[in-house]
A and B are shown apart, each in its own frame.
Chain A
Amino acid sequence: DAEITQSPRHKITETGRQVTLACHQTWNHNNMFWYRQDLGHGLRLIHYSYGVQDTNKGEVSDGYSVSRSNTEDLPLTLESAASSQTSVYFCASSESPGNTEAFFGQGTRLTVV
């Protein structure tokens, strides 16, 4: 069965370190998204991609970057982790053109100490 997986599921890192969260989908979806989820804020869009070599900033992109070298993967990098980036991160994918259901990964709980 097609799926979308994130790794790691949990991570603790120190302030200032670079961290990369992995997202891999086997749906063959062109659209991929990264969200962060914090209490009281729902799901906020960090970055998104509509296909290979395409990346776009979302509403809370500062301090984060993504790259899309193939259809299956959209890794999220925190260039220099800050305590404000402690959150649960969800990757999602959907079919093009995009007004369709998003499928979410299991989430990654990141703690920056």
Chain B
Amino acid sequence: GENVEQHPSTLSVQEGDSAVIKCTYSDSASNYFPWYKQELGKRPQLIIDIRSNVGEKKDQRIAVTLNKTAKHFSLHITETQPEDSAVYFCAANTNAGKSTFGDGTTLTVKP
């Protein structure tokens, strides 16, 4: 089955700096890669996603890149703010629909 590895497990940045979280996947059939943000005590919510026919996608301060050949994808957050502090999960989906999640990255943005 699919295996998703996510790094780093914790990340601390100064407000205004950039943050990068990286994930690798194993199943070449995976074609959809969502990123979820989970604030303390809350449910995971989608913040951005990318499909296998696209190399990069951007939404304001958030961007995701995908390298299908190397089977890795990354989340980039620029100009970080304290409200970006949360746990971020990457995931990989095949057409079958089930998500395999990475173990999460706890991002702390220091004011």
Instruction: Point out residues on A near B: beta carbons under 8 Å.
Output: 31, 33, 35, 40-45, 48, 50, 58-59, 90, 94, 96-102, 104-107
Residue of A nearest to B100 (CB): A45
Q: Judging by beta carbons under 8 Å apart, are B97 and A31 in contact?
A: yes
Task: Write out the residue numbers on chain B whose beta carbons fall within 8 Å of the beta carbon of A41.
Answer: 103
* List of A residues within 8 angstroms of B32 by Cβ: 99-100
Q: Does B24 contact A (CB under 8 A)?
A: no
Return the CB mask of B35-70 against A: 1 if under 8 Å, else 0. 000000011111001010000000000000000000
Contacting residue for A99 out of B44, B89, B93, B102, CB 8 A: B93
Q: Are B94 and A90 in contact (CB under 8 A)?
A: no
For window 76-102 of B, CB contacts with A under 8 Å fall at 89, 93-102
Partner pick for A42 among B51, B95, B101, CB 8 A cutoff: B101
Contact in complex: A104, B51 (CB < 8 Å): no
Contacts of B31 in A (CB 8 A): 99
Number of interface residues of B (CB under 8 A): 25
Contact B103 A98 (CB under 8 A): no
Instruction: Using known A-B contacts A99-B93, A99-B95, determine if residue A42 contacts B102 with beta carbons closer than 8 Å.
Output: yes
Which chain B residues border A58 with CB–CB below 8 Å?
98
B104 partner residues in chain A, CB cutoff 8 A: 42
A-B pairs, 4 with minimum CB distance: A98-B97, A99-B32, A42-B103, A104-B43
B43→A107 contact, CB < 8 A: yes
Q: Within the complex, which residue of B51, B93, B95, B101 is in contact with A43, where a contact is CB–CB below 8 Å? A: B101
